[in-house]
Structure 1
Amino acid sequence: MPLYMDIHELSEVTAEDVAKAHAKDMEVQRKYGVEYSKYWVNEKAGKIFCLVHAPNAEAAEHVHREAHGMLAEKIIEVQPELAEAFFGGVETNDAGAVLVPGGATDDRDPGIRTVLFTDIVDSTAFTQSMGDEAAMALFDVHNSVVRNALANSSGREVKHTGDGIMASFVSAASAVRCAIQIQRKLDRHAEANPERPLKVRVGAAAGEPVEQNNDLFGSTVQLAARLCGHAQPEQILVSNAIPDLCIGKGLLFEDVGEVVLKGFGSPVRAHAAVWAD
């Protein structure tokens, strides 16, 4: 059965209001062959994101209409494997609200994710100058370093891009710490292997599950990818939202001003995370 995410924008919403509405959905859903399994509440932004299995979007909407009348602004179909990659095997409370992994009891997850990309600098040149076998050995170093950093930072690998890795984090600070670990490990690798230095760019952005584009984290993914492509070798370039999400976490950022990125109608403010020891 298809998987959908519906998005509600409410000016005044509390976690208790959403819990009551979800309970009413559960009472009605079988009538329409629908299963509302879990939801995310961003009380600060007044938004709710519900994940639902349904035969079609109309059936999911019928449940909301009959149960409580709180209709979604959008209902989009999502790929189950992408939902799993971005959200993982989440824990919910008794009401069905998703909780922050490792957070305090009943600490609700607002659904915001930080998306991170790595990109190996001059990857094509590696293959041409060193040959396939030697180049693959360097790529394996990258993969090992990045995956170890993800494991240490509670990150989830979304996919391998060929020249890098795309990952998702619940915490923006964890994403930045992951990027810092990657750059420091590769810097030490370059010192030990000066004849074959391996350098990467890193880009990261934070956002809600559905913003402008009607696909899961589409805008956030696009921004993170563009920032990664714009970054200098060995640089960690992040979106404007990330330093604010990292306040009080002991991380340092340098404001690099507005940058022009392909696909964005206006310049985007970016920051470079400081990673040197």
Structure 2
Amino acid sequence: MDGDDVAQGEQRLATYLARHANGEDPMPKAAALMRWIIDHQPDFASVLNHDLKTCRKIVYDFSRNGDVVIGGTSDPARQTDLMFAQMAAANAPVGVGRYREDRICYQSPQFKNGGEARSQHLGIDLFLAAGTPVFMPLDGVVHSFADNNLPLDYGPTIIMEHNPAPGITFWTLYGHLSRDSLDGLVVGKAFAKGDELCRFGDYPINGDWIPHLHFQIIFDLLGKSGDYFGAAKPSQWDVWEAICPNANLILQMPEDVTASRDGI
């Protein structure tokens, strides 16, 4: 990524935070982007072979330790077996991790940088077996991609850019992918709605998580390329909610897949 782009992105984030502190809308252009997405919800394709509007799911709570945990010192092999056994018993092909959830697995130094943890989830997680294909919900081009191969990071990651109408530009992020999902990608490569984009990765390639897709909507990349914040500081949530609105605007699951305002 270009250093100037990063510096400009940091300045825009500082502006958003300052506007919010002054009681102003942190990101004024977000309203038009949100309106476009809401107006075109009937047109989006499912990112999975399953119809997320109708298929059975288990919505998990990772704001506290339960029988299924993610990240931290958990054993992804054991937790994968446990989660997928629960899903099979419930005849639920999809597990879901919630938007806005304040997760205990993000309390390690990796997510704190010496200060408040970035612990509040900015995307939605969809849990299925490694190798599950992921499809484009709308037309887009490859903005960037990378293998973010630190433990508890995204692993292979793709960011897609969408320019569906004049003045409307936003991005979607696909994280925890298989390494071969990056094969043949080039910046600017076009994918149409419904095209297969990538596949779910397996541990440890996917950052050492239970196999899942982290799906996120982004209204400002803040100069980032191939990587992006997947969680926010709770004290800054109102600003980050404007930058990264609820991914269920595109996924459209009828279940309650959004944590409460305090992240629980």
Task: State the TM-score, normalized to the length of structure 1.
Answer: 0.25
Q: TM-score, normalised by structure 2?
A: 0.26
Structure scoring higher RCO (CA < 8 A, sep ≥ 6) equals 2
* Structure (1 or 2) with the larger CA radius of gyration: 1
